[in-house]
Amino acid sequence: MAEPPSDPLQRPLPDGIVPEEVVTRTENRWVMIMAAMLAVMMAVIVVTSVAGALHSSSNVEVVEPLTLHLGGEFVESNLGTAIEPDGSATVRLIGEQYDFVPHCVRVPADTPVKFRLTSADVVHGFLLPDTNVNTMVVPGFVAEVRTSFAQPGEYEMPCHEFCGLGHHAMWTRVSVVPKDQFTGQGPLERTRCAKQ
């Protein structure tokens, strides 16, 4: 008499195959590890945002990207660093394929600095390494970021939003000079950096 066909699920496992309970236990452990990592990453985002004063924009300012050069705040003669009556600095920049205008800006150290940026064409990115400055530069909108530089120094300013074939070459510079060496910026001076 032939043996009845055995249930394949009930057969003893051949050597080398891990039983289901062990697999489940391992998978549960990994789920908990992943959940813990997510919790840590969320906590890092919240803590660094608060401690590093990283703010998303609280206002929406629009600007017409096609006529930036014709008038208004971002006309060429108004770009670069301007010193406000209260002593703070405002830097206005335009991002365009593939450069920032002006190509280099000078700002005083130990002074509140407000960057105001917009784009003439596509989305660019503005980032100053080791500072809280990091924003997207979107055509049609004004991005504003505030910071201050404790020490004089040079900051490379890479575009960090892919903006086309020349994206990798879109670098400019923020030159931070000691406060007492920052002289009044004439219309020409404010859009170019001191010769190195």
Question: Which residues of this protein are in contact with ligand CUA, per CB under 6 A?
Answer: 95, 98, 124, 159, 161-163, 167, 170
The tokens of 101 are what?
A: 């205008």
What is the separation, in whole angstroms, between the first and last Cα of the chain? Answer: 98
Distance CA(117)–CA(125), nearest Å, equals 10
Tokens 């593939």 identify what position? 98
Please report how close the Cβ of residue 66 comes to ligand CUA at its closest, in angstroms. 18
Please report how close the Cβ of residue 173 comes to ligand CUA at its closest, in angstroms. 15
Residue closer to ligand CUA by CB (options 154, 162) is 162
Please report how close the Cβ of residue 129 comes to ligand CUA at its closest, in angstroms. 16
Classified as helix, coil or strand, 179 is: helix
CB contact at 8 A, 181 and 135: no
Residue closer to ligand CUA by CB (options 82, 127) is 127
Residue closer to ligand CUA by CB (options 35, 162) is 162
Please report how close the Cβ of residue 135 comes to ligand CUA at its closest, in angstroms. 13
Residue closer to ligand CUA by CB (options 53, 169) is 169
Distance CA(108)–CA(87), nearest Å, equals 10
The tokens of 189 are what?
A: 């001076």
